[in-house]
Amino acid sequence: MVGSRFGLWSRIKRVAASDTISGLIMLGFALVGLLLANIPVTSHLFESIAETHMAVPYTNIDLPLGHWAQDGLLTIFFLVVGLDLKQELTTGSLANPKAAAVPMACAVGGMAVPPLLFLLVTWLFSAFGPPAPGLEIVASGAVHPFSAISQGWAIPMATDIAFSLTVLALFAKGLPGSIRAFLMTLATVDDLLAVIVIALFFSSLNAWYWFLGIVVCAAVWAYLVRRRRVPWPVVVIVGALAWVMMFEAGVHPTLAGMLVGLLTPSREMHGETSPRAERYKEKLQPFSALLALPIFALFATGVHFEALSPAMMVSPVVLGIVAALVIGKPLGIMITAWLATHPIGLSLPKGLRVRDLFPAACACGIGFTVSFLLATLAYDDPELSGEARFGVLVGSLISAMVAGLLLNHQARGFRSRAAERELAEAARKAAGADANIEEVLADGSITISMKALSPEAIRRYRERHPERFATEEGSSSEEERRTTTVKPGSRHISRLKRRMRELGKGSGKATGSKRGRGHRR
């Protein structure tokens, strides 16, 4: 029984660690929430559940379940983000400022352009659209002033790290790891900047003594998690108190998770073999990926619309957010990347060019988690908040599709070039009488062991020389089917012909003229 429990927990951890599976689970819950809130049979029940209140005893905290998903469960997500960010700042991609300079700059650029584009689109509606200058009509026909709609400027700023990595995992097989590292660094800095934006612009600060309580909780947490034996019941109580202090102070309480995550040790201590921040993140990841984020997505997208009509797609709020995510996010990243690497002179990882970043930049237009949160914070009006969340969903899906297509095309190109290099390397090894080379023929061509090549290299060679493989596949010799011949006219061997012949003469061994029958080197 114990073994089966551990086996089940191991499987759950593997699922949570998979960017692809956890991201698709979260997307599924988001779509289910949208359907449940708008199907007549379930809409009333879903709304009743979302509006059911739960209170914390001896406090004035009394929130509906939908808000508990946002303000409570999402704290686990921010705690995981804080732990990950602390590890990255200490020993990860952000530990070397020079290597992280370009993605960090791109994170800033990617957060600066979308709000400008959102404000531009919504201003154009107010300036030139009905019903009058300074006013805008949303999907339901209600009229709102530009000053109210412009409050959503921050919604398209943030990149959802989970979904962007899901798209990368699905469509970017074969891409160099530096592209994933670039996206990881950018999204991590993006999360930190989003937290700063929430703290500065979407907090209504209350009495000073609550902030003193936050400082005390932070200091106690930092002390407890550095002890040789961590008293976990006390640590959990201190973390919960930090959440309450944040709530009472008027700061969004999810930031308590980020705060205590950043205060957790990220280097080995007391003879441990791994940093505590890394271990705690691994333990909390299943709760974040498979519990907190899916339930948050369920309630965040569970917005009832009177009618999901084409008018929704031309609402200034929806269009502004979609344009900001799909166009503004990659535009800001690419402009910043070019400025950082050309006029400023910073460098990308070896083998990467600025244009190689464009597909990953499009994936950064997937807003989702933090954008949903900002939509609820930016608009008090339920209608505007609902349209904003719908715009985030549409913009994120479009960005995911565009990024998926571009990443898939880019990955095929990288795999193709890798296969070319592999074939060229095999030919170069022939000059050194490598063991993988079966023979050197009289005309200077060589026969290379198929076992020495990757499937992609074999596929490319088959496409280029189908007639040779037709002959070889028809051969009755297993040895012949496992070899292929590169002709001297091939660009991979043309520069090696002379060297090959010299090696053939110098070795004192004859080279055959019949394919597959010559003496081996």
User: DSSP character for 175?
Assistant: S
| The amino acid at 8 | L
- Alpha-carbon distance of 293 to 254, in angstroms, equals 13
- Average pLDDT score over residue span 86-100: 83
**pLDDT digits 0-9 by tens, 363-414:** 999 988 889 999 999 998 888 998 999 999 999 999 999 999 999 988 888 8
Handedness of CA 61, 67, 71, 75 (dihedral sign): positive
User: DSSP character for 444?
Assistant: S
**Residues of the chain with pLDDT > 90: what percent?**
37
- Alpha-carbon distance of 310 to 139, in angstroms, equals 9
What is the pLDDT at residue 234? 95
| Residue 493 lies inside a defined structural domain of this protein | no
What is the pLDDT at residue 334? 96
Q: Which residues pair with 113 in a beta bridge?
A: none
Least Cα distance to 275 among 91, 10, 13, 85 occurs for 91
**pLDDT digits 0-9 by tens, 310-357:** 778 889 999 999 999 999 999 999 999 999 998 888 888 877 889 999
Q: Phi and psi for 351 in degrees, rounded to 5?
A: 90, -10
| Cβ burial, residue 271 (10 Å; 0-12/13-18/19+) | exposed
| Residue 428 lies inside a defined structural domain of this protein | no
- Alpha-carbon distance of 135 to 125, in angstroms, equals 8
Q: Phi and psi for 251 in degrees, rounded to 5?
A: -90, 145
**pLDDT digits 0-9 by tens, 61-91:** 888 998 899 889 999 999 998 998 898 888 8
For residue 254, give both structure tokens: 């999810």
* Alpha-carbon radius of gyration of the chain: 29
> Which residues span the domain enclosing 176?
10-203+252-421
| Residue 121 lies inside a defined structural domain of this protein | yes
Confidence of residue 468 (pLDDT cuts 50, 70, 90): low
Confidence of residue 460 (pLDDT cuts 50, 70, 90): low
Instruction: Assign residue 34 the CATH number of its domain.
Output: 1.20.1530.10
Contact 154, 111 (CB under 8 A): no
Confidence of residue 461 (pLDDT cuts 50, 70, 90): low
Helix ranges, 431-507 (H):
455-464, 466-473, 478-481, 497-507
| Residue 52 lies inside a defined structural domain of this protein | yes
| Helix H or strand E segment including 417 | helix 382-430
Least Cα distance to 140 among 380, 304, 320 occurs for 304
DSSP sequence for 357-400:
GHHHHHHTT--THHHHHHHHHH--SHHHHHHHHHHHHHHHHHHH
| Residue 225 lies inside a defined structural domain of this protein | no
| The amino acid at 154 | A
Report how many domains make up the chain. Answer: 1
User: DSSP character for 326?
Assistant: I
- Alpha-carbon distance of 66 to 64, in angstroms, equals 5
| Residue 403 lies inside a defined structural domain of this protein | yes
- Relative orientation angle of helices 161-171 and 382-430, to the nearest 10 degrees: 40
Name the more confident of 505 and 72: 72
Least Cα distance to 325 among 449, 155, 174, 88 occurs for 155
Handedness of CA 219, 223, 226, 230 (dihedral sign): negative
For residue 391, give both structure tokens: 């715009």
What is the pLDDT at residue 183? 87
| Greatest Cα-to-Cα distance within the chain, rounded to the nearest angstrom | 95
pTM: 0.77
Name the more confident of 278 and 22: 278
Helix ranges, 225-315 (H):
232-249, 255-262, 276-287, 293-300, 310-313
**pLDDT digits 0-9 by tens, 176-209:** 778 888 888 898 889 889 989 998 898 877 778 8
- Average pLDDT score over residue span 416-439: 60
User: Of 108-122, 125-139, 379-393, 475-489, which gets the smallest average pLDDT?
Assistant: 475-489
User: Highest mean pLDDT range out of 7-21, 43-57, 213-227?
Assistant: 213-227
- Alpha-carbon distance of 284 to 306, in angstroms, equals 38
| Residue 441 lies inside a defined structural domain of this protein | no
DSSP, collapsed to helix, strand or coil, labels residue 230 as coil
| Residue 520 lies inside a defined structural domain of this protein | no
DSSP, collapsed to helix, strand or coil, labels residue 254 as coil
**pLDDT digits 0-9 by tens, 436-455:** 444 455 555 555 565 556 77
For residue 284, give both structure tokens: 């909390």
